Structure 1
Amino acid sequence: MHRIRPGLYIGCRADAYDVEALKAANITHILTLEYEPLEINSGDFKYNFVRVSDVPNEDILSHFPECLEFVEEGIRKGGVLVHCPNHGFMDQLRLFEAMGCTKDFKEHPLYKQYKLAKTAKVVLQKQTFDDTFSHCLATDPQQSEADQSQMIYKCKMCRRAVFKGSSIIKHTVGKGSRIFKSKSGKSRSPAEVSCTSVFIEPVAWMEPVLLGKLGGKLMCPKCNARLGSFNWAGDQCSCATWVTPAFKIHCSKVDESRPRPPVGETHHRQTPAATAEAALQ
């Protein structure tokens, strides 16, 4: 059993059975993340059981909000033991820390990247995308209520809203540019590259196109103008970075629609490419 911070311990199943050691550490709460619950239920402790498989690729992030409430209560009342983390669980804990340890992380760009990467792995294993993956699709901005805080991107041809600014998936500009060479044969430095496309999370209007396919074109659902392409195995940005999975929209095919600023305030219009570059910093 290892103390992470005052009142918070991480251990294994055996630690959860060591009543004397638990009492000595002033532990009052025990959080179990395993496929089977503990075989004892002592009245000396408060228990919370979350059924997950103890394998590295199991998703525990989605259970974090309820777990956090239990952990916070345990720290307030004495101490809490959490068991048992594997290296995959530890990676998710690090991701949670990188997202600021907030309970409202579902819209965080890092969480969206994590969720998409897990979905892509399963899609590639099955060699197809079907309606069981619909949960990974972002809301169609055309079908949802307008959010005045959200940048909306519209098809340049017909002005149909196609994705929100919050759907943009970040990547490191120029990563790999020293490996991928230009047509002249010379390697490019990060300062010499730029992004002519943005990568986004898949949006609900794409579902008919995605079904049964691993890659293809992305066309505007209203006017059928080509907006970009998708590939669950990934694609390369113009800046040379490889993004997986890739739902790539060409900046030249969309326009920004900014919310109106409050009276007395002004804003400067940026091109989609400029906004995308700023979002990637």
Structure 2
Amino acid sequence: MDKIAERLFLGAFEDVLMLSSSNDAGISHILSLLDRSLPISIQNQFTCKFVKVFDVPDEDLLSHFEDCLRFIDEGRDNGTGVLVHCQVGCSRSATIVIAWMMRTKKLSLENALDLVTEFRPCVRPNEGFHFQLELFSKMNCQVDPQNSLYKKFKLKTLSLQMEQGTSPENFSSDILAASPVEGKTKGETIYRCKKCRQPLFRDTSLLSHTSGEGKEAFSWKAKSSNTSKTKSDVVCTQSLFIEPVQWMADIVFKQEGKLVCPKCKSKLGSFIWCGEQCPCGAWVAPAFHIQNGKVDLSKPLLLAQRSVVPFSTN
């Protein structure tokens, strides 16, 4: 194992086995990122935390960042030292240590990766974990569940799991945004059903995407076109794609279906977890698509400033 910072070490599973017989390095806390937990005999010797995670690009490690970083801080503050490890100490555990360096030392991803690699040359997070570190950096090194980038990441992860056949019963309803409640939407920008005025979702539930290449991006056009296109940075305004909301709870974990108003049952749009192509040409997955003509935008009222004329005694 290699020392990365004061009372923080990065290593492999074999380092844990060595520590169980000799604690010369002064380790009191062990953070394990593996597909299985450590033997009970080792857990009885140290303060341990286990995160079940596989070293594959589609794995969601980002959701565990906050718990892992808290464990590291606790071990460094209240213990003698922390060992963060996975099987070989180059991808899963390295990702967590890099995230800790980014937050604690206020380093960019590139600088944190270079520094950790300097101490442990075998470090190489897989491409999926590297992307999650980039996302962590964009969120100012805080995992923010309300951040639109994080929402899209979580939904994409769930989409991939559903494509791989994971049972919907294993998913948490935490991914569903709270439904706006009539009478309690003061000060919020709300989208309502055009037919019955039922509040449906907040503007914060909108998931934006950059515009694609228009009709040329659709498969039958793309095959006949030899013209290369540069990716647009313009945000699409043609369609409304949103995160799933609580009123969809009864249907949301099907592979696809219609979206109807929870009050008047008029059709609002559709959803499909594997994704669909927006009219702008961009591929959106998962796609919870609300038809623009079925909803109205309701913005909060702004109270006009009244001009007050002082009372004169003259």
TM above 0.5: yes
Which of the residues 111, 120, 126 maps onto 2:159? Answer: 120
Distance in structure 2 (CA, Å) of the matches to 1:177 and 1:79: 55
Report the TM-score when normalising by structure 1. 0.71
Conserved in 1, the CA contact under 8 Å of 2:214 and 2:279?
Answer: no
Determine helix, strand or coil for the equivalent of 2:30.
Answer: strand
In the alignment, is the contact (CA less than 8 A) between 2:268 and 2:290 conserved in 1?
yes
Partners of 1:106 and 1:72 lie apart in 2 by: 21
- Structure 1 residues 98, 75: CA separation in 2 closer, same or farther (over 3 Å shift)? farther
Specify the SS of the correspondent of 1:10: strand
Candidates 261, 274, 282, aligned match of 1:241: 282
- Give the fraction of aligned pairs with identical amino acids, expressed as a percent: 37
Distance (whole Å) between structure 2 residues aligned to residue 48 and residue 144 of structure 1: 48
Q: Which residue in 1 is equivalent to 2:66?
A: 65
The residue correspondences of 1:1-281 to structure 2 (distance < 5 A) are: 1-2=1-2, 8-19=8-19, 29-34=29-34, 35-37=36-38, 39-40=41-42, 47-56=47-56, 57-76=58-77, 79-84=81-86, 85-86=91-92, 87=126, 89=129, 91-103=131-143, 105-126=144-165, 130=168, 132-133=170-171, 135=173, 136-142=175-181, 146=185, 148=187, 150-171=188-209, 173-177=210-214, 179-180=216-217, 190=232, 194-210=236-252, 213-261=254-302, 264=305
Give, in whole Å, the separation in 2 of the partners of 1:263 and 1:50: 56
Counterparts of 1:68 and 1:147, CA distance in 2? 37
Q: What's the offset of the Cα at 1:52? A: 0.7
Task: Tell me: CA distance 1:92–1:208, structure 2 relative to 1, closer, same or farther (3 Å).
Answer: same
Larger-gyration structure (1/2):
2
Shift of 1:101: 2.2
CA RMSD, Structure 1 to Structure 2 (Å) = 3.9
Deviation at 1:76, TM superposition (A): 4.2
Does the C-alpha gap of structure 1 residues 37 and 226 become closer, same or farther in structure 2, counting only changes over 3 Å? Answer: same
The question of whether the paired residues in 2 share the 8 Å contact of 1:7 and 1:79 is answered with: yes
- SS of the aligned residue for 2:84 comes to strand
One-letter identity of the residue aligned with 1:107: Q
Distance 1:259 1:72 in 2: 42
Q: Secondary structure at the match of 1:115?
A: helix
CA distance in 2, matches of 1:6, 1:143: 53
Q: Give, in angstroms, the shift of residue 264 of structure 1.
A: 4.4
- Provide, for residues 183-229 of structure 1, a one-character-per-residue CA deviation record: whole Å limited to 9, x for no partner: 9x998884899422121111122234446x43333222223333222
Letter in 2 for 1:207: A
CA contact (8 A) 1:48 1:70 kept: no
Distance 2:85 2:214 in 1: 42
Cα 1:41/1:107, change in 2 over 3 Å: same
Contact 2:208/2:236, CA 8 A, preserved across alignment:
no
**TM-score of the superposed pair, with normalisation by structure 2:** 0.64
Amino acid corresponding to residue 217 of structure 2 in structure 1: F
Which string of whole-angstrom CA distances, capped at 9 and with x for unpartnered residues, describes residues 158-179 of structure 1? 21111122222232x2235595
Letter in 2 for 1:166: T
How many residues were matched structurally?
Answer: 256
SS for the counterpart of 2:73 is helix
- Separation in 1 of the partners of 2:214 and 2:81? 49
**Structure 1 residues 2, 91: CA separation in 2 closer, same or farther (over 3 Å shift)?**
farther
Letter in 1 for 2:135: L
Decide whether aligned partners of structure 1 residues 126 and 192 sit closer, same or farther in structure 2, where only a CA change above 3 A counts: closer
The residue type paired with residue 201 of structure 1 is E
246-255 vs 190-199, which deviates more? 190-199
- Do the aligned partners of residues 219 and 98 (structure 1) sit closer, same or farther apart at CA in structure 2, a change above 3 Å counting? same
Take 1:196 and 1:21, find their aligned partners in 2: how far apart are those partners? 63
d(CA) in 2 for partners of 1:244 and 1:80? 39
